[in-house]
Every structure is written in C-alpha cells, then in structure tokens.
Amino acid sequence: MAKTGLGRLADRLRAFPAPPGTKIMEVCGSHTVAIRRFGIQHLLPATVKLVSGPGCPVCVTPDHFIDEAIALARQGVTVTSFGDMLRVPGSRSALEKERAAGCDIRAVYSPLDALRIAEQEGKETVFLAVGFETTAPAIAAVAIRAGEKGIANFSLLTALRLVPPALKALMASDTELSGFLLPGHVSAVIGRQAYDFLPGQRLPGVIAGFSAEDIISSLMLLLEMHNKGIYKVMNNYPRVVRDAGNPTSRAVLAEVFTTADAAWRGLGSMPQSGLELRPAYAAMEARRRFAIRVRPGAARKACRCGDVLRGLIDPPACPLFNKACRPDQPLGPCMVSSEGSCSAWVTYG
C-alpha cells in the first residue's frame, strides 16, 4: 500500500541528517502532549534530543500561589479557577482538598464565568489569573468589563507569565540548546516578531501548530536551519499566527497589565517575566483587597519538576516518577496538569 503523506513525512524526519548533540526544546505544554500522543519522539533521528520546556502554566506556578489561594478560600471568599489548578499541591494542601472540606472553590471554563458568579451571587469572588499570553488578554478583557459594570466584589489573584523572557533565561543558562519549537497560540497573540531576539543568540525558532504534520514539518525546518547555521524565526502556523500577532488583544492586555519580575517554579525569579495590574486596576488585585497570610512552606524536596521544566532531565529520571507520583496520585504539578511532561510521559509512554 502506498504510504500516506504523513507516513512519508515521518520517514523524512527519521532520515534527516543532524549532528550529534542536537537538542531541541518544545516550549508549549500542548505540544508536549501532541508529540507524545502522536509518538513523534520515536521518529527523531538518533542524534536529536527533544526536551520539554516551561510552557505549562499550571506547572510553573509556584507553591506559594496555591497557598495564597487556599488562604483566601479559608477566609470565606469564593475562589474560581481553571480546573487544572485545583489538584495542584501547595506546600500543605490543595484547592480540591479544601473544597471537600467545605470551602467555596469552583472550576470555571472562562474568567467570564467567574465574573458572572460575582455578579449573580454578590459575594467576594476571586479568579486565579494563571496563564501565558494566550490567556492574559481574556483576563484583561474581564477586568475591563468588571470595571465598566462596577462589579466591586470581583478580584484577581494574579500569576500570569510571559514566554519570551523565559526563553531568554533558558538560552542564557543552557548553552546546549539548538533551537526552539515555539508555541502556536501564544504566538497568535504576540506574533512572530516577539521572538526576534533569538537569531542574535544564534538560535533558530519555528512557530508550530498542533497536528502531526505541523509538528514534524516544524522539526525538520529547525534541523535544516541548525545544520546550515541559519538563525531565523519561521512561522509554520500561518493559518492562525500573523507576523504582528493580534494587536487588538495586545492593546487590551496593555491597558490592564504591565510587566514585572516574577518567580517561576524551577526557573526562579526572572526579570519582566510576569504581569501585574496597572495602577488604574490595582484595586482589583486580591492581594491588596484581602490580608493574605501564608506561612512559608517547606520546599518540595524529592519532586524534580523544576529540572523537568528546564529541560534538564526527562521525567523518568525523577525517583518518584510513576511510583509514588502517578496521574491518579500526583505529587508535583508536572504530574497534575494534563499538559505537564510527567503526566504526558505516563499517559502516552
């Protein structure tokens, strides 16, 4: 039987020349899942290593943030969040446990749902603002709407993070990287031009979509550039990503938020890598509105999520992987989130 287009593409990737020690990082958690689901890691030439990066928002959110959310819930505030956050262990408990113990904690699909809960029920309602550039404009739009409608009982506990500053920190600390497979939907907002700093560091990048064809062809483009010493940022997802991204989304984002230094799990504090509310919206920050007291927690010792997020180890190198830490009983965020590398490795092998 004749091979399908995808089969031929897979063969080409397998046979693609690549020098020993070629190391490519897929930055986005949705790519991690797609790669393992399609088995693309088995199609790579033997000299190429593909590592996961810090692109799972739930995974990079520090324990301290969960502790703050729990402290709010215990004060009787309604806490709303994307569902993925509920199972993430903080330093002592998880939101899911606190909900079982009677706290008002709800999973929502959109920050709009959180605003609706605040409006309809009238109680102090906090939304856990977690995510990257894909999600941040939606949260900014909801903040604007809350302001326009005068919904005074709605606030945000913010931990939004930005992708390019994390890439800058990674490439400064890991000199073995050969290139980045860049996120599709973050790039829909920030555009190809947001990565213009890569060529100066002699690194190629390719913005990729989420189908097997998208990912395989993007990996071949990266290998081709790496082989030839070409350092460019290519947009291989033009059905969604424009060079300038989505300026309307960025304008909404910039109206509400400004950049600030921020801490990431595994990566520490990185300059201008997070978002905080501008003065006009600062009253909407839950940390200002409520006294949140959190005792410093013990560092999570055995969990090596931080190293996984920097692409330094593969999940099976963690002694707890698929033993004490499993998807049904996760000990670290990289196993909790369906987009975490540890979870993707267990689920798809």
The site for another protein (CB under 8 A) is made up of: 28-30, 34, 37-38, 55-58, 82, 84, 109-113, 130-132, 134-135, 137-139, 141-142, 144-145, 183-186, 188-189, 209-212, 214, 239-241, 246-249, 252, 337, 339
304 binds ligand SF4 (CB under 6 A): yes
277 binds ligand SF4 (CB under 6 A): no
Is residue 88 within 8 A of residue 58, CB to CB? The reply is yes
In this structure, how many other beta carbons lie within 10 angstroms of the beta carbon of residue 215? 26
315 binds ligand SF4 (CB under 6 A): yes
Which span (105-113, 132-140, 160-168, 331-339) binds ligand SF4, by CB under 6 A? 331-339
For ligand SF4, which residue of 331, 337, 339, 344 counts as binding (CB under 6 A)?
A: 331
How many residues belong to the site for ligand SF4 (CB under 6 A)? 14
Q: With respect to ligand SF4, which residue has the nearer C-beta, 71 or 325?
A: 325
Which span (74-82, 130-138, 157-165, 298-306) binds ligand SF4, by CB under 6 A? 298-306
Contacts with 233 (C-beta within 8 Å, 6 or more apart), sequence order: 182, 192, 195, 196, 198, 199, 204, 205, 206, 207
Rounded least distance, CB 63 to another protein, Å: 18
Q: With respect to another protein, which residue has the nearer C-beta, 29 or 306?
A: 29
Q: How far apart are CA 288 and CA 246, in angstroms?
A: 31
Structure tokens, 72: 């709010």
Cα–Cα–Cα angle for 182, 312, 37, rounded to 5 degrees: 55
325 binds ligand SF4 (CB under 6 A): yes
**Which one, of 300, 214, 259, lies nearest residue 309 by Cα?**
300
Is residue 205 within 8 A of residue 255, CB to CB? The reply is no
Structure tokens, 283: 């009253």
Cβ-proximal residue to ligand SF4, closest one: 332
Structure tokens, 324: 């004490």
Q: With respect to ligand SF4, which residue has the nearer C-beta, 89 or 191?
A: 89
Residues that bind ligand SF4 (CB under 6 A): 303-305, 308, 315, 318, 320-321, 325, 331-332, 334-335, 342
